[in-house]
Amino acid sequence: MAGVRLICDTGPLVAFFNRADQHHRWACEQFNRITEPLITCEAVISEAVFLLQDDRLPSDPILEVLERGKVLVQFSAEEHWPDLRHLMRKYANLPMSLADACLVRMAELAPHSQIFTADRHFRIYRRHGRQIIPLLAPF
């Protein structure tokens, strides 16, 4: 994975901290292999915190990985509203979440990137309209 930026989705974060998640083991294996900080967006962090809390699990570990620099928030949706809106309209039939739109946009901005996800929608999403997005996924 040298030279490839890993863009982290909600699923692996939640799976790592939730032993009951179907992808927990896979997420743990991946996190043990990854040495570089992951990059993500605030929408992913918000979703992950909500999902952990919804499962009555502490969300503090998410904030801890941010404070330790293991996961870096390196995207501001404010600078990309037209692109995000376009993506969400294009994939409205799925529907595409704001977090997913942010990650696709991040993949467009970082050509040597891979999305770390457990979300099958990323097999459908395309960057720049037609380019397959490289994934690190359990499927």
- Given a cut of 80, whether residue 64 has pLDDT beyond it is yes
Burial bucket for residue 60 (CB in 10 Å: 0-12, 13-18, 19+): exposed
Cis peptide bond N-terminal to 12, omega within 30: no
The pTM (predicted TM-score) of the whole model is: 0.95
What is the CATH topology of the domain spanning 5-136?
A: Rossmann fold (3.40.50)
In the chain, the N- to C-terminal Cα span, in Å, equals: 18
Average pLDDT over the chain, rounded to whole?
Answer: 96
- Given a cut of 70, whether residue 2 has pLDDT beyond it is no
CA distances from 116 to 12, 54, 88, 89 (A): 7, 22, 20, 23
pLDDT in tens, 8-41: 999 999 999 999 999 999 999 999 999 999 999 9
Q: How far is Cα 39 from Cα 26, in angstroms, rounded to an integer?
A: 19
Task: From 99, 109, 107, select the one nearest 135 (Cα to Cα).
Answer: 107
pLDDT in tens, 36-60: 999 999 999 999 999 999 999 999 9
